[in-house]
Structures are given as C-alpha cells and as structure tokens.
Amino acid sequence: MELIGEGYTAEVYSWQEGEILKLFRKEFPLGGIEKEYEVSKEVERLGIPIPRVGEIIEYEGRTGIVYERIVGDSLLKLITARPWSSGKYSRRLAELQYELHQCKAKGLNSYKGSLEWGIQHSTLTEDQKQAVLNRLAQLPEGDRLCHGDFHPGNVLKTKEDYIILDWMTAACGCPSMDVARTVMLIKDAGLPGNIPAIARLMINRTRRSLAQSYLRNYRKLSGMSREEIDHWRLPIIAARLSEWIPEVERNAIMKEINDTLQN
C-alpha cells in the first residue's frame, strides 16, 4: 500500500481502485473509530459533500475505515503554496461551514456534552475544571450540524466541488461554538517542532491573517456577533487539553486559561 497522508490519530493509504484506507494508530481506541464511522454515515445521509463511507476493516493488527478516494488538494496545501490566495479560500471556508450550520443534526451527540467530557479529562486542576464548566453551563446547547474539526486541512478542492473530510468530532450544537474552534485551529494549533524559525514566523503571520478573514466572512454571512463566538473560547481551549497536542500549544493554552480565570 502507498502511504498518502498521516495525522496524529491515523495514516491514510491507497486501497482498492477509487478507495483509501484510513488506518488508525494502534493506541487509538476502537470506540473512537466506531464513532467516526457512525457519524460519517449520518452526515452522508444528510447530503453533505463528503467521501463515500465504506466499511470498517482490520489490517495487520490495526483498525481502519475504507473511504472513497477523492482527487484534489486541501485548502491548506493551496494556501501554503500561494499565501496571497488566502482571502479567496477563507471566504469559501466560511461559506462551506455556514452551509453545514443550516442543517439540523439531532441524531448526533451533543457538542456541548463533548466539550464537558474534554474539560473533565483535561490536565487542569479540579478547581480550574469546575470554573470552566460553570461558564460552559451558561452557554446554549444548539441543534445544528457542527463539524468539530473544521479547518483548511480538512477541506479538499476537486475539479467539480469542495469535499469536507474527517467527521469523527461532528456533533449537534451551536454554530458559534464550531466557529470558535475553527478560529483556534487556524490561528493557535501547535506547529511541528522541526519547522525553521523564519518559516514558522511566516506561517504564523499567514495563519493570523487567514483566521481574521475567515471570521469576518463567516460573521458577514451569518450575522453572528463577535461576543457570541468569544464566549466559547475558554471551554474550547480547555477541552483541547484532553487531545494529543504539541507541548508548545499545551503550555500556551495553560497560560491563557490561568490568565482568564484570574481576571
């Protein structure tokens, strides 16, 4: 098999004709894989443009999901190759996410509930967890389809359309929550440690610009206020601490949470 991509949780290989195999790492829990499969089937049923979902299989002691192979480039790759195109792609990113948020998704688990789980399983102290959970309790539940991991790396541009990938974290929730997480992923997600300092500086500059442009476009489409989005920042970054993230990002999040709770 040919390795065609990889992330923190899985590797992606070419499979049979017109298919890929998303092969999860051995330490990744089976329940998470089954959840991705079930959620992907539900999203497919809603008519969202995603790769056709095949079956769950075992391969060399690991579990994977077979998906339709989509030929195209991620928006992340396109923006990295041509940073001056970030305005155009940030607008399309906002449009795609806004379209998702028009769908009701009561068949999926609660996004707010998944945030609560993430906060409870984070590395925060018990007092910090309770303080964040108290703020989360004041925020709305929502009933819309939220991707939960929506960023330029998870959107492919094909000759015909845009296809949205990686639906493991999709849930039923409040659109402003989903937008807040997208802003965090674009602007603040940790970079690999082997990136040279000059390249890191340029990437971070592009990321900040992309996040601002994306947010401006989404708010223009939706009429959503900045305050609606900012209210979710604290619980979003607190729940992020339960994920597999680089140490540099973890340290930055801890500092922001400490500063926020002290004010």
* One domain, residues 28 and 79: no
| Residue 29 φ then ψ, to 5° | -65, 140
Same domain, 97 and 185: yes
pLDDT score of 1: 83
Q: Mark which of 68, 85, 120 sits at the end of a domain.
A: 68
The span from the CA of 80 to the CA of 57, in Å, is: 34
- Would strands 62-68 and 19-24 be described as parallel, antiparallel, or unpaired? antiparallel
Q: How many domains does the chain have?
A: 2
Domain around 119 = 73-262
> Please, are residues 164 and 73 in contact by the beta-carbon 8 Å criterion?
no
Q: Confidence class of residue 193 from pLDDT cuts 50, 70 and 90?
A: low
**Of the residues 50, 68, 86, the one at which a domain ends:** 68
Mean pLDDT, rounded, for 209-216: 94
42 and 163 co-located in one domain? no
254 and 235 part of one domain: yes
Q: Which of 37-46, 77-86, 151-160, 224-233 has the highest mean pLDDT?
A: 224-233
Among the listed ranges 165-169, 213-217, 226-230, 236-240, which one has the minimum average pLDDT value?
165-169
Residues 6+ apart with CB under 8 A from 108: 39, 42, 145, 170, 171, 172
pLDDT of residue 191: 61
Question: Quick one: 180 and 103 in the same domain?
Answer: yes
Mean residue pLDDT of the chain comes to: 91
Condensed to tens digits (0 to 9), the pLDDT of residues 246-259 reads 898 999 999 999 99
53-59: strand order across its sheet: 3-6, 10-14, 19-24, 62-68, 53-59
Please give the residue that has the higher pLDDT: either 233 or 35: 233
57 lies in the same domain as 126:
no
Give the pLDDT score at 195. 60
Residues 17 and 90 in one domain: no
Residues 153 and 57 in one domain: no
Split at pLDDT 50, 70, 90, the class of 83 is confident
Residues 30-81 have pLDDT tens digits of 998 998 999 999 999 888 989 999 999 999 999 999 999 999 999 988 988 8
Distance CA 131, CA 126 (A): 9
Q: Are residues 212 and 251 in the same domain?
A: yes
Residues 57 and 81 in one domain: no
54 and 162 together in one domain: no
53 plus 111 within the same structural domain: no
Model pTM? Answer: 0.89
Per the CB < 8 A criterion, the answer to whether 160 and 205 are in contact is no
From 68, 96, 115, the end of a domain falls on 68
CATH code for the domain of 36? 3.30.200.20
For residue 182 the two structure tokens come to 């997208």
More confident residue, 106 or 30: 30
Return the CATH number at 252: 3.90.1200.10
